Each structure stands twice: as structure tokens, then as C-alpha cells.
Amino acid sequence: MSDVLEFERRREIQERLRKRLAAEHEKRAERLKRVGVTAFDLEVAAMTDEINAIRAERGLRAIRQGEVERAESGALGHSDYARKFAWYASELCAPDQQASE
């Protein structure tokens, strides 16, 4: 795939991931009422599910949640946290990104 096509595909993936994260953020108020689980845990789990769905669509193996947590940590402190998290998460959907054993 050409670099331009892969970049456009990554932007599409980033937008899909950003929308999933936004949907998870909408659930935060209700989740704060739960005991023993944090909104962060549920949001990262949802992003892991979405990334693995994209990876499966691309014929790639699933990744672990820890890899998504590392992507999220790179977004911390950014003024546009959701977009940055989605961008870093989209890197995990790249064909050359190998899943951890």
C-alpha cells in the first residue's frame, strides 16, 4: 500500500478510535458510581477491544491492554488528549506493529 493510502487509512482509524473514546467518555458519570473499577480502566479496555477489532479486520493478531495503556500514557498532559490518544492508538493498528507474545 502506498504511503499516502496508508496515511489516509490511519486517519480513518484514528477517527474511529476517537469516536469510540468519546462514546466511552459519555458513560463516565454513570461509571463513577461503580465501586472497584475506574473510568480509566473501562475506557482503556474499550479502546483495546476497538484496536483488536481493527487489527482482526486487517488480519493482525490481538494486542494486550498494556500496549494500549502505554499509548494512553503518551497522550497524558496534551491539551487534545482524546485526539492524541487516538493517534497513538492508531499506531497499534499498523500492519508492521507486531503484537506482544
Instruction: State the Cα–Cα distance between residues 69 and 21, nearest whole angstrom.
Output: 13
Instruction: Report which residue type is found at 62.
Output: A
Q: Which residue has the cell 487516538?
A: 86
For the ranges 18-22, 23-27, 44-48, 60-64, which has the lowest average pLDDT? 23-27
9 vs 3: CA distance, rounded Å = 10
pTM: 0.78
Question: Region 26-38: what's the mean pLDDT?
Answer: 74
Residue ranges per structural domain of the chain: 3-91
Predicted pLDDT of residue 99: 53
pLDDT over threshold 90, residue 36? no
